[in-house]
Amino acid sequence: MTAMVLSSPGSSPPPSCFAYTKTYPRPSLLGQEWTLVRVHACGLNRAELRSRANLPPGVPEFNIFQAEYYVDPPAILGEEFVGIVEEAGSASGFQKGEKVAGLIYGGGKAHDGSYAEFSLCHRRRLHRLPKNTREALAWEVVAAIPMSMVTAYGCVVLAGGLERRKRGSTVMIHGVSWSVGIWAIMLARERGATVFATTRAKDKADHLKRCGADHVVLDDELESEILKLFPKGIDIILELVGPDQILRSLGFSARYGTVIVAGVLNLQWDVGGFSPVMIPPTRNLSFYAMINSCTGGEDDELDTIEGLLRCY
């Protein structure tokens, strides 16, 4: 099969990190819960950037799949894709020919990713596309949606509990100017929240407001602006800059507010001496990267991308 192989991690410019081949071995199913998908398009994610730069993956990225952690990236990167099922294991719940979106996160996963003609995906991370999606949107457009939208939904709606809060609750996205942050703005506004977004780039403010943010401030003005606009704090804070910002974000949260750490834009996984005893008793802290599509049934409505789009 054709594939883009990570041959020279750390090289510059980025395309020089890869070698294109038409003779890479086509993968075989790893078990009956697995599928083989013919990839029509794949998205780009920051975990791939770290692997491409020869940086180790973060353990938290693997969430409920900790057993799959490997320090070294696979030969083929790629965290998400859309395509058509080519082969389905008997326990996968899928059939050949179905249009799907796959999430295979974690830069050190034990098998190859989606920068290839075919990609493996476990049933827990494969989602059926709505029947009209492919007709309405090009494959390359659909491929840019799943990982970022599912992550934003899991953070703001599930972990943050936005739908359980009264309409007009406040949501802050710290470090908003990437795909998860943009989806978080739209999902929060759809549910009647007042959205407060931060960025380091002044020239992005107008764009973020067009996406739905009610207030946009520069990061170095954050402390003073929050006190002016929300003296009682923020109900839900989505922390995308990094885990080392936890204490700062907890300080911005309202009584019974929730801080969700889901990004590492600054590449800092280390919280620096943080302990759970530092969490105020009237605040909540969650690390949330993906939905709990495993043995728990509380997220059954998200077992398909179609279910998620219905929620949206």
The residue among 221, 225, 219, 242 whose CA lies nearest residue 170 is 225
280 cis-preceded (ω within 30 degrees of 0): no
**Residue 156 sits in the same domain as residue 200:** yes
Residue 73 has pLDDT above 90, yes or no: no
Of the candidates 144, 168, 186, which is a domain's last residue? 144
Position 297 in a domain: no
**Residue 122 sits in the same domain as residue 18:** yes
Token pair in block for residue 132 = 């009209």
**Residue 81 sits in the same domain as residue 205:** no
CATH number at residue 223: 3.40.50.720
Q: What is the pLDDT of residue 278?
A: 86
Q: Which tens digits make up the pLDDT trace of 119-175?
A: 999 887 888 888 776 577 889 999 988 888 888 988 998 889 998 898 899 999 998
Strands of the chain, DSSP E: 3-6, 18-21, 34-42, 80-88, 99-103, 118-122, 126-128, 170-174, 194-199, 215-218, 234-239, 253-261, 284-287
How many independent structural domains does the chain possess?
2
Q: Which tens digits make up the pLDDT trace of 183-206?
A: 999 999 999 999 999 998 888 999
Please give the share of the chain, as a percent, with pLDDT higher than 90.
48
Position 294 in a domain: no
Position 167 in a domain: yes
CA atoms within 13 A on the CB side of 249: 31
Cα separation, 284 vs 87, in Å, equals 43
* Residue with the larger pLDDT of the pair 60 and 32: 32
Of the candidates 144, 160, 190, which is a domain's last residue? 144
**Residue 121 sits in the same domain as residue 152:** no
**Residue 178 sits in the same domain as residue 94:** no
**Residue 156 sits in the same domain as residue 126:** no
**Residue 46 sits in the same domain as residue 85:** yes
CATH number at residue 135: 3.90.180.10
**Residue 131 sits in the same domain as residue 18:** yes
Position 302 in a domain: no
106 confidence band (pLDDT: 50, 70, 90): low
Position 76 in a domain: yes
Of the candidates 144, 176, 211, which is a domain's last residue? 144
Domain range spanning residue 203? 147-287
Q: What is the pLDDT of residue 293?
A: 45
Q: What is the pLDDT of residue 29?
A: 95
295 confidence band (pLDDT: 50, 70, 90): very low
Position 296 in a domain: no
Residue 296 has pLDDT above 50, yes or no: no
**Residue 27 sits in the same domain as residue 136:** yes
272 confidence band (pLDDT: 50, 70, 90): confident
309 confidence band (pLDDT: 50, 70, 90): very low
Residue 237 has pLDDT above 80, yes or no: yes
Position 217 in a domain: yes
**Residue 130 sits in the same domain as residue 62:** yes
**Residue 22 sits in the same domain as residue 78:** yes
3-state helix, strand, coil in the chain (%, to 5): 35, 25, 45
Q: What is the pLDDT of residue 312?
A: 35
Residue 179 has pLDDT above 60, yes or no: yes
**Residue 139 sits in the same domain as residue 154:** no
Position 305 in a domain: no
Please, what is the average pLDDT of the chain? 85
Residue 307 has pLDDT above 50, yes or no: no
Q: Which tens digits make up the pLDDT trace of 218-229?
A: 988 999 999 899
pTM for this entry: 0.81
